Structures are given as C-alpha cells and as structure tokens.
A and B are shown apart, each in its own frame.
Chain A
Amino acid sequence: MKQRQVAALERTLVAQELASLLRHDLRNKLGNVRNAAYYIRRRVEQSEAALKDPRVGAFFKLIDDELGAASELIVAGLGQKDAASQPAEPVPLDSCIQDALELAAPPAHVQVRLDLHAPTPHPFQAAEVALLVRYLIENALEAMPASAPSEQVLTLRSAEDPDQVSLTVSDTGPGLSAEAVKRAFEPFFSEKPGHSGLGLRLARRIAAHHGAELRIAESAPGATLVVTFAIASLRSLHGQDS
C-alpha cells in the first residue's frame, strides 16, 4: 500500500518537474521571437509598406501582445501547488527512513549502517519524505557498484534537537567531482551512465516543500548529503491549526 502511494507520488513529481522545465524553455523561446519581432518592427516602421498599410504596424503589435499574453499564461501555470498535498500526520523521521530503505532495497554487496536518533513525531508528508530519502539512498548506492574492489558502506544518520531534525546519508564511493557538486541539482545532470539525473532535483523539490534544506557536505572519501528540517517550518507548512 505504501509502495503504491510512493509510486503515484513519484509520477506526479516527475510530471511536475518536466512541466516546469518545459515552461521555462517555452518562455525563453517566446522571448526570443518577441525580441526578433521588436527588431523587425523598428526596422520597417518608416518603410513604404508600413506607412501605406496600417496593418503592418497593427500586426506587429498583435505579435507582441499575443506572445506577451502566451508568456503570462505559462507563468500562471507556475503558481500551482507542488505535489498533491495531503494533511500531514505526525510521524518520526526515523520511520520515513525505514520506509525509504525498504523501497530502495540496497543490494547485498553494500553494508548498511544505521545510526538513527530522530524518534519524535513531526508533521511530515510521510510518503514524500520517504521518497526524498529513497532518492538520497539511491544516489549513494549508484556510487557503489558491485564491481568496486573495497567494502561498500551506506551510512544513514539521523539526529534531532528542539529546533531541527536532520538526516545525513554517506557513501564510500569515489565522491563527487567539483563539477558534480556544482551541478548536482541541475536537471538531467548525471555522471553515471544510464541515469536520468532527476533524483537529487526531485529530492530538493520535496525538501523545499517541507521548508527543508538539502545540501552536499564536504566529505572524503565518498559523498555526503544532508537534509535538515526546521521544526518551525514543518509546523507552519503542514501542521494542523489547533
């Protein structure tokens, strides 16, 4: 049941991400057409054709107005709310992590170390957070193929204090190149063959939905990602008014 819920959520997120990239590209293209039309209009406005036929000027205005309106329509779509929001039930971060581990199913050659200390329930969107953690785990697992010579370890550490709850995911893979650190959250950027390069971007989308911060921590060897939820943001975003 949980598995199905997460899969549905993932489809929604991927669709939203693709739509937002499409909108961005479309707006830029409309902008280029507008710039080109603006240039031509200014070049011909004193020409014989334009002076004799008022429709030339009127149509340039029409092109600009219509492109402007189309661009506005695209922006209007941007305001839509992220992911299908369900009321958040208080769950501990640790149980979201357990769910994510089950979903990600680490292969036998990877040793999993758990160091979980976030048992207090908070208003998380449980399915979303499980998906976020799954992306982080998958990102770590992809850095540790079975072919690697040494022992592979995935470490998940959670911690909480009165202000925040955090999760640290580390791997013992080759670590991230400077380029990868810079571009990790860009869509379709991946240094691993056969990967879409959307995982971390979607993870960050979910983090943003929770008012949380997702960042790459300095670490060697391997890579470390940290997600930190501020409890005040969780309450204000997803908490029930009481």
Chain B
Amino acid sequence: MSALRVLLVDDEPSHLITLAANLELEGMQSFTADSGEAALALMAEQCFDLVLTDVRMPGISGVELFRQIRQLHPELPVVLMTGFAVESLMEEAMREGAFAVLAKPFDISRVLPLLVQAGQRPTTLIIDSSQEEAAQAAEALHKLGIRARAVFDEASAEQVLRDTAVDICVVDLLMATGGSPPLLDRMKQINPQLAFIAISGHDLPELVRKLGGSGALTWLRKPITASLLARTIAAARGSKVARR
C-alpha cells in the first residue's frame, strides 16, 4: 500500500511543521498549505487521500475550504480542527459530512490513528431490518460524501464487518439487543474498535441503559435526518480522540 497523502492546512507555521513531522513518522506523506486558498491551488495540481485543516485562518475559513472540497471531490475525507469551543460553523460542517472535528490543542498520539483511519475512508455500516430505510440512509450519507453500506440481517452484518474496514455501526436498537449473545456483543467481538449509533422508534431508556455500559454508543430516536446522522457519525469519530 502506498503512503497516505495528507494535506495539512493551518496559518500557524509551528503547528503545521510539527504536525507534518509526526505524520511522516507514522508513514504518511504530508503536504502543507498556509491558507485555504493555497490548499485549493495545491489540490488543483495533485491528489490527496485526506485533508486536515484549521478553521480560523485569514482568507477563506476551514469550513469554507471544506465546502469547496466537497464540490470538487465529494468523497475526500476532511478533518477540521479548532481552538475555539463549539461553534455553530463546526456544527454545520459535521452535518454536511466532515469526517470529524478536533479540538485544538490535541494529543497527537491519539490523533494519528484517527488520521490513518480517515485516510482509508472507513465505511459506516447501517443495519436495519427495514430494507427501504437502511438503503435510504446509506444513499443519503453517500450524498454527503460519507461511505456507507446497508444490510438487512445479522448474518450479512457480521460478514461485512469481517470483510470491510467499518468504524461506525448504525443499528436498529431492537436488532442490536436481539439474539444470544446479542448482535451488539458479537459485532464487538469481530471489531472491538467499533462505535455504535443505536436507533429506535420509541423511548426505550431501559434498553439504552443496558447497552450504555458496554462501550461507545450513541442513541438516536426516529425520525432521523441524513444531516443529524452525519453529525452523529462525525462526533463519534471525534470523540475517540477527545477522551484522555
């Protein structure tokens, strides 16, 4: 496998060069741009597997850069970093399909695995016995540049987990808790790093509490829009870094 080509965008030179050095140590090939405009110019000449950009910069912001990249390369993963607490812009970017948002400063040793993962464009697996709903959700995520795959039964879910790089699993809550051992536990056995987003049509606090103790899990209630799902996926990815 050839080295991941990562484009780093930040107006702060010290951050840019220390980040680039650490990425190279990890076997990635890093390229740097000190503004969104410079990044777009580089992207017109060459291809990248991943873009990591600061948000606040003179000229176009990282969020605007992300939007322009979405137009040019709908599937290219973009990770945003910001030193300012929750901003509505970040919220919008996550809803529009940004891979993850990182709070600066971050612990580089935690961020490196996330970047490696992002560069490989992991799949979000959607499991729902309603074929129509699952397929629609996957299609909607695709439109936001998020790689997704829909399956409708347990056997295919386990199969995909074995064959594909999946990092997030969106699963109907009843299906997740069904079976013996429950599907959720079986999936975790196949991939312990998996983060789960459980979806249900009703308030099922009992079930959620039962699941709550067993690792990364977010719970969403139907109906769910594509942008809410995209936001939840980005947040789940980012939270792997946030915990210290």
Contacts and interface: CB of A to CB of B under 8 A. Distances in A.
A24 B18 contact: no
Kindly name the residue among A30, A32, A68, A182 whose own CB sees the greatest number of chain B CB atoms within 10 A: A32
Contact of A31 (B25, B84, B105): B105
A49 B18 CA distance: 23
B108 A38 contact: yes
Contact of B18 (A27, A36, A42, A43): A36
Nearest to A43: B25
24 contacts: A27-B83, A27-B105, A28-B104, A28-B105, A29-B14, A30-B105, A31-B15, A32-B18, A32-B105, A34-B105, A34-B107, A35-B18, A35-B19, A35-B21, A35-B22, A36-B18, A36-B21, A38-B108, A39-B21, A39-B22, A42-B22, A42-B25, A68-B107, A71-B105
Interface string B97-109: 0000000111111
Nearest to B22: A39
Interface of B: 12, 14-15, 18-19, 21-22, 25, 61, 83-84, 104-109
B18 A39 contact: yes
A71 B105 CA distance: 9
Nearest to B59: A179
Given A35-B108, A38-B109, A71-B105, A28 B12 contact: yes
Nearest to B23: A39
Nearest to B24: A39
Interface of A: 24, 27-32, 34-36, 38-39, 42-43, 68, 71, 182
Contacts of A28: 12, 15, 83, 104-105
A58 B194 CA distance: 34
A52 B185 CA distance: 46
Nearest to B19: A35
- 6 shortest A-B CB distances, which residue pairs? A31-B105, A35-B18, A32-B14, A39-B21, A36-B18, A35-B108
A24 B85 CA distance: 10
A28 B81 CA distance: 12
A221 to B, nearest CB: 27
Contact of B84 (A24, A39, A182): A24
A67 to B, nearest CB: 9
B160 to A, nearest CB: 35
Nearest to A186: B56
A94 B12 CA distance: 45
A182 B55 CA distance: 13
Given A24-B83, A24-B84, A31 B22 contact: no
Contacts of A38: 22, 108-109
B75 to A, nearest CB: 28
Contacts of B107: 34, 68
Contacts of A31: 15, 104-106
Contact of B25 (A24, A29, A39, A182): A39
B13 to A, nearest CB: 9
Count chain B CB atoms within 10 A of each CB in A24, A29, A35 and give the residue with the most.
A35
A171 B219 CA distance: 48
A29 B185 CA distance: 42
Contacts of B12: 28, 32
A182 to B, nearest CB: 8
A13 B103 CA distance: 25
Contacts of B14: 29, 32, 36
Contacts of A36: 14, 18, 21
B128 to A, nearest CB: 38
A24 to B, nearest CB: 6
Contacts of A43: 25
Contacts of A30: 105
